[in-house]
Structure 1
Amino acid sequence: MDSQHPSAAPASRPAEAAPHSETTLRVDGKPHTLTVDHRRVLLDLLREDLGLVGAKKGCDHGQCGACTVLVDGRRVNSCLQLAVALDGSEITTVEGLGTDGEELHPLQRSFLERDAFQCGYCTPGQICSAVGALAEAASGHPSHVTDPAAPSGEPVPLDRAEIRERMSGNLCRCGAYPRIADAIEDVIP
């Protein structure tokens, strides 16, 4: 530092290039091999590199669920997942839930029939989360409200309390929660 100018900043070093790695992801059934910055999150890769804009950037801190997608069948907040850490994973977005983009997934259809949205910003994350929640319950994964006396590993029956608990990581600023729960109830086998 310059003794005459104590607030003068030291000379800065040139910025080092961020590390990159080749990463292969299977997104909505299609393989994609990309060179990815190690700091890049899955949400940005999906939206900016692959043009899949269903998952939304809400809070960018994993608190709202607007960015929820399925990774190897499990729901995740894509804003928190480093893309390079998912090398070899199967990613399913709201765009990939239906069959070849033609037929809607039963939950997508149910959300439309129940009018389970208002502004629609959270809807893709809500739908992906619901798909994951139904799969978790069918596999016997308990939630915080599951009866502790329920047999371990058996499918968890989904009542309204289970649905609300399992969907609690997805926020809706418009307050469409009752209709979202209705739409999920409609597709429970």
Structure 2
Amino acid sequence: MWQGRTMAWEDDLFALLDDLEQQADALYDAERAPELADRSRAEYQQVTLASRLMASVGREVGLEVAGVGAVAGVLERVADGWCLVRGADQDWVVTMTAVRSVSGASDRAVPEVAWSPLARLGRASVLRRLAEAGERCVLHDTAGGRVDGIPRRVGADFVEVAVGEDARVVLVAFATLAAVQSRD
């Protein structure tokens, strides 16, 4: 009998200790939940628009671009400071700093360390390629201005564009360039 009492007493003690441990776990979880939520918010502040767009490559997106307005199409490429949107009639090379809003983006993000080395090419590379190909295009600035012509040469912070029949040269500063629209 004595042994039966000891067992009942021990069972009660272990049950009490288990209950206290569960209460401590619940209190710890309750105290930690706001800290985890705060950490999650703090980590999300590291996510860039470009990394969200990188995860959206291949999706139909809508961009609101300063000086241009709405640009819609399939997001084909994202790179350092620019993205390529293939619309129904034209392709658009959009400067990231001119993007006001994006709709249709993925909920995910791709950190820059996971990007292809080609994604590190800046918009000057795109403009040099257009110049080499002699592609006629429209360069839109953030204030709503347009320059219709053929990019000829690309400087450190500008692009030289041949405009009109007389091939008059216009320099377009990168600082105000919002988008480049294909013409043909």
Q: Structure 2 length as normaliser, TM-score? A: 0.26
Structure showing greater Rg: 2
Query: Hey, which of these two has a bigger chunk of strand by percent?
Result: 2
Q: Per residue, is there more helix in 1 or in 2? A: 2
Give TM-score scaled by structure 1 length. 0.26
